[in-house]
Amino acid sequence: MEAFGDKPVDQITGGIAGEFRDMLFALPSTHGKHKNSPGIHDAILRAREQGLETLSGKTVKNHFSRLSALWGHLVQREIVARNPWAGWTYDVTQKIDRRDWTDRELAQLSTARWTSTTTSLRSYVGLITIALYTGMRLGELCNLRTQDIVTVNGIRCFHVRPHPEENWSPKTAAGTRLIPLHSHLLQWGVLDLVQEGEHYLFPDLNPSARGRGTDFAQAFSKFKKRLGLPETVTFHSFRHTVSTKLRNQGGNIRELWIDTLLGHEASHRSQGTTTYTSSIAVQNLQQVVEALDYPTFQIPLPPH
């Protein structure tokens, strides 16, 4: 009913059943498990933007089995002519886990020619490069505004924060955070992405009802396949790569600082988890960011 309205049962067609099947496969696996779960359409959008784990084939099959059983009774009573929920197939094999990018794959990405007509080369290069040096989610990147580049205690940062006027916000409360700009980003010219008169850092991304960057996500997926990269490597793998590199660092990098940088809910709460603007906190985050290094990744082109 939420997806299609309160239709009479004899108006539920195979087309609607198929569309509902696609929607179920796109829903995050945690949907409905919390009191304040978003609506189905918002949940699908959030899952796509943030690369969340979605419902398994087994779960979707269970939903369809229940609907099919109900429609079986309706067919017997001649209330409907056919059962649109029967006969579907489901991939019930174990899901492919995303993994980090390898050095070889990052080198390949550096030299590959971006050919998409829906997203500019400037935005493509900016998105993948910032992702590698910040660990930001795709939805956070696509919604960066020019005003979200700020200076805190002399340190240039991205400020990931809610946009109430645009009905967008980070995934969690911890998603509101400062991310110091890596020295490689500054040397590359990330500040040149700011264009006078433009609201967003990547203004050419399609502001569709499904969310900014949906076209880019689809284009990147096709691009990745064209390069022969495996299904286990996705755009969200940039975030995995950042997390893995930071957690494997030695030295004085604390787990709490990494969680803060990535917008993860900290395993334990303290005043330090919410003190984003003190000089100590920002300097610590800068230390974390500067630990990221990709010897085989050469930023393809300047952002001009």
Distance CA 158, CA 178 (A): 6
At 17 the pLDDT is 93
At 171 the pLDDT is 73
Distance CA 127, CA 139 (A): 11
At 105 the pLDDT is 96
Q: What is the pLDDT along the chain (304 residues), one digit of tens a residue?
A: 888 999 999 999 999 999 999 999 888 888 876 656 678 888 888 787 777 788 888 888 989 999 999 999 999 999 999 999 999 988 766 556 778 999 999 999 999 999 898 899 999 999 999 999 999 999 999 999 999 999 999 999 999 999 888 888 887 778 899 999 999 999 999 999 998 889 999 999 987 656 788 889 989 999 999 999 998 899 999 999 999 999 998 778 898 899 999 998 755 444 444 444 445 589 999 999 999 999 999 988 655 5
Reference 284, options 141, 178, 163, 211; nearest CA is: 178
At 273 the pLDDT is 42
- The label of the residue with tokens 């189905």 reads 40
At 266 the pLDDT is 58
Residue 2 corresponds to which tokens in the numbers above?
A: 């939420």
* CB-based burial label for 244 (10 Å; 0-12, 13-18, 19+): middle
